[in-house]
Structure 1
Amino acid sequence: MLTLARSLWRLPAPPDARPAGRWDYAFVAAVAVMAVLEATVLRPDLDRRWLSLAAFLVWLPTLLLRRTRPGVMVTVFAVVMFVPVYEAFESSGRPPDDLHTGIVALLIPYSITRWESGRAVIPDLFLFGLVAARSLLWEGTPTGDRVGGTAVIVAAAAMGAAVRARAMLQSRQLDVVRQQERERLARDLHDTVAHHLTAIAISAQAGLAVADAKPEAARDALRRIDEEATRTLAETRKVVRMLRTDEDEVDRPLDDLAGLASTGGPGPSVDVQVADGLDDLSPTVGAALQRIAQEAVANARRHADGATSVHVQVRRHLDDVELVVTDDGRAPTRSAEGFGIVGMTERAALLGGTLAAGPAPDGGWRVTATLPSEERR
């Protein structure tokens, strides 16, 4: 309980408080006109009507500050309303009659709990309560009116707190969505760009190694670097487009896997085999398979010592689709650093699948991803 109280006390003012707009000014003007009509036409017999009307019109404009400066609003309200109350009690011993238009004062407790900082809520509500108490606690006020008036004030404050809690919850949900989008973007950029950058780095190293002895081989390496750089640019643009819309997910979920195949150039060769009958995969599942395969191939190029080949196989297994990526390198132990395996595992888990990565029984390294043929919701 103490921890909750401290959290509420330290609660900052909401950051989404906007200043008064034209509708706020129109509202205040309309209420002022209604108050004047009430005091002059509708209730001409109102006790001390001119004093009540003047006090009301003085504090009414502070409603324009109800979001940005609620403390100023309630302070002006308390100070201004003290004058007619004091004068009425001095002369007749009873509070002055209220304008029916004064019901807009219920916006004050609502605004305090909705827009004020945590440490200012209690003193501001107390100050408003002092003003309200002059009618609620007067000895001539019926008990029913006291209970009803108190309930209405409490309800207004509770509504402000409820709206504030809902806004905070929505803000946190938006923060979670943004964080998930950032993580997805990081995975996509890592999965797509890292694969091609690895090939560029390997080609550059090979070209440097043979530049003096074999100029033709160096030119081949430069051509491969150019091809990989072009692919990197295209993949990066695709990821950016995916952040705006999912319409880029066309009905060819596994066609991009063929682009991983490579038989020439530096590094191990990559062989891709896709079984028949997988054209009915959803675009999301197909994209996940392609990203996981890309990352697995990139990891083999980076970490598989002495690897000469990487084999990528996609096949249907019962109601699931299975992706297996193996290499023949010497890699009984892989570094746990980086986001490669973590990203692949998360991507598979998001679709209700599983992923296992580890040494293969016959040597090398194997990555096995099993995903449902359709998205599991």
Structure 2
Amino acid sequence: MLTQRALLFRLAQLGGLFLMACLGLFDLANGLSNSGDVVLLQVLSAIATAVVWLRRHRQGSTRLPKVAMALAGFSLLLTIAVGGADHGGSYGVAEAVGLLGVLFVVSRRGDPQWAIGAVLATGMALGFLPLRSGPDSGMVILGLAQGLAGTAVIGLGVYLRTLEATRVRAMDTVRAEQRAEFARDLHDFIAHHVTGIVVQAQGARFIAEQDPKRVLLALEQIEAAGAETMASMRRMVGVLRDPNAQPDAPLTPLAGVDELSPLLEQFTSSGGPLARLHLDGSTEGVPVEVSTSAYRVVMEALTNIRRHAQGARVADVWVRRTPDWLLVRVANDGLPPKAGTPREAPGYGLVGLQERVRAVGGRITAGPGIDGGWVVDAALPLDQEVTR
């Protein structure tokens, strides 16, 4: 399904294509009787430009500006070949509109190293185009006007390119911050368990001669703690490497699924909708990275409910444990946003959640519920083998 933005873009493309078709018919009607070969070449060039700006191009494409330079070269050669002779037809209005479209997509999507040359060549072709009808003052002024229009189109393309680059950088920053936060959580967990292992080992050495049976119990606890720590490290090391991490950062208590009840109570007591927790299955033995991720999913979802769920009275949180997965759902009964209603500028909370959930091999979705409101669903694997 196309988003509203993509739909508007497609409609704009269709509108431009319809305009070019009408102008192409105008060129044909005014040129076939006097200079059929020239006008056919002009229409062919216009069709070639439409093929370029109608296609979807990846950002930083090198092929796009190369094709644009080839089209600009063909247009300039045709202008030189006509030589300013009055052939009694249109100079190629449809081709001019097509070149404007090429200027836009090149400045919007083209590789920067190639785009500069392509923009200059296409701008020259656009500005010299009216000279096909003669080098009189009217055609020169028209050429200057087309050059100014091309400059405006280039500015629009560069502006949209800058906006997208800013958005991508912001999303990358959020992802990096989320991964760094996750790394700190893992650091806290490992530090806690390693400290416990050291303490238990020291105690076992102290009581070894007095009560050997208690030594066996301590060794079992050390084994369990070490196995849990190594399992978490195997799942996460290589995924969360950060060369700028500070290993001496202060330790903070980890919040997981067992701390959801206080979180919901605090949410309700601070003026939010009534938050209800529904647990299905035991939370004992849930891997720490899964537990903390589930907690963060619920916390971010509750924050969004407070900010965006108008009229919400209840926020339900379901946590269900299956043999392989920890399933989390957060839903509210607020009013869905009306179509066309302006909303606040979107943040990047969901982007951070997607990065955190993806880091543990899970998946997350968010969207309007069947009965209204908004629903966030997350599936977190208890064992990495189930995601392979």
> Scaled by the length of structure 2, what TM-score is found?
0.48
Q: In terms of Rg, which structure is larger?
A: 1
TM-score normalised by the chain length of structure 1: 0.49
